[in-house]
Amino acid sequence: MIFRENTELALRLKELIHKFTEDLKARYGKIAIRIMNFCGTHEWTTTHYGLRTLMPRDVELVAGPGCPVCITPAYYIDVAIKLALDGVKVYTYGDTYRLPTVRPKGAIRSLADAKAAGADVTLVYSFLEAARDASKHSKDSVFVGIGFETIAPAYAELIMQRKVPENLKFLNIIRLTPPAAVYSINVVKNEVLEGKLLIGVIAPGHVSTITGAKAWSVLADEYKMPTVISGFEPIDVLMSITEILRQFRKGEAKIVIQYKRAVTWDGNVKAQKLMNTVFSTVDAAWRGIGYIPKSGYRLRDNYYDKYDALNYFGIPDLTPETWKYDLPPGCRCADVILGKAKPTDCKLFMKKCRPDSPWGPCMVSLEGSCSIWARCGVISEEVLQDLEFTS
């Protein structure tokens, strides 16, 4: 794609990023800036293309909680494992399949382990694929429904169109991203004490095709945070960083759509109506973090809740009272997804926790920060020094 190969534009953007940072330093003296990307795909672009190496030392790009696998509470993995071991057929995406819990049943830490122990666990690419397969048999079945606003309309449509067979239930773990961004900002802004100021957010382009840019306006209006809804090419991300620095330098805080080729202010109104018909908004748990207000969905009562797996199997849902800290010992995923730590800050990174044997949830999915850093070969300063690559 020409956009990806436009090195001239990339170099121009790099120059602007450095110039804006120098201007800020001239104005404020020593300055250390953080820009948070919210989405795992942006973290992939940033790391895979080495964008951090183009930044001034004073600009740090940090990841946010935008990986649905990473933030799926362990409780729901426990539920899926229990149902699978009890003889229910479980449909799941490939990454959720390997997601480890913190309360293993013997040697079983994941749905992959349950399948190895003989449970009926089937990998699918979509809820539709699960529905089609489940309609060919009568066995009680469950689909593990993780994801953000990008996938929620597809779930809603299938349920609304009554294309889900009676024997297939939906384990609802949908999460909503703008409330989590607000939560992250509230947490990280206190880190100013460490001398790093969060000055802007790179918001997810794909989520925003559904929600519209308007969903992020709270960040600019209430938190005075320059926010750019970005595409996923390296040039997109560089343009977004440049715009955030430009706004900060000018004392502005606006929502800007950089990903104009896909995102509008209002988003996909039809998809929003679908979601609002089938789901209502509720407070919801995020793994390692706990409850975030208005950050999840539940199936609406009276009709749609007949698809609810927890209702059907008589399993209580999580509540703020029953949620327990759900990261394995030593795992720093909560800090990683809140932009408070880098994957290499975790002592288990590429030791006990590796892509082929994940200990924590951020090492599982291609969108998890730890997995991205591991797959792209990022190593810690400590290891670099051991290797004597530094002068």
Tokens 């199936």, residue located = 299
Can residue 67 be called a binding residue for ligand SF4 (CB under 6 A)?
no
Q: Both tokens of residue 77?
A: 């993995």
79-92 b/e (C-beta count within 10 Å ≥ 16 → b): bbbbbbbeebbbbb
> 180 or 331: whose CB is closer to ligand SF4?
331
* Distance (Å, whole) CA 63 – CA 46: 10
Q: Which one of 333, 337, 338, 378 is in contact with ligand SF4 (CB under 6 A)?
A: 333
Asked if 279 is part of the footprint of ligand SF4 (rule: CB under 6 A), the reply reads no
Q: Is 346 in the site for ligand SF4 (CB under 6 A)?
A: yes
263 binds ligand SF4 (CB under 6 A): no
The Cα 203–Cα 181 span in angstroms is 9
The span from the CA of 153 to the CA of 218, in Å, is 23
Asked if 134 touches ligand SF4 (CB under 6 A), the answer is no
Count of CB atoms situated within 10 Å of the CB of 167: 16
Least distance to ligand SF4, CB of residue 359, Å? 4
Q: Name the minimum Å distance from CB 170 to ligand SF4.
A: 27
Closer CB to ligand SF4, 255 or 338, in the complex: 338
| Residue whose C-alpha is closest to residue 159's, from 128, 136, 180 | 128
Nearer to ligand SF4, 126 or 380 (CB): 380
Between 15 and 382, whose beta carbon lies closer to ligand SF4?
A: 382
Task: Taking each helix axis as running N to C, give the angle between helix 40-48 and helix 234-250, from 0 to 180 degrees, rounded to the nearest 10.
Answer: 100
Determine the interface stretch with ligand SF4 among 56-64, 305-313, 316-324, 362-370 (rule: CB under 6 A): 362-370
Give the H/E segment covering residue 123.
strand 121-123
Does position 336 interact with ligand SF4 (CB under 6 A)? The reply is yes
Tell me the C-alpha distance between 360 and 380, whole Å.
Answer: 18
Using CB atoms, what's the residue nearest to ligand SF4?
A: 360
353 scored as a contact of ligand SF4 (CB under 6 A): yes
**Interface region with ligand SF4, contact rule CB under 6 A, candidates 124-132, 173-181, 243-251, 359-367:** 359-367
Instruction: Please answer whether residues 20 and 245 qualify as being in contact, where contact means their C-beta atoms are separated by less than 8 angstroms.
Output: yes
Chain contacts with ligand SF4 (rule: CB under 6 A): 331-333, 336, 343, 346, 348-349, 353, 359-360, 362-363, 370
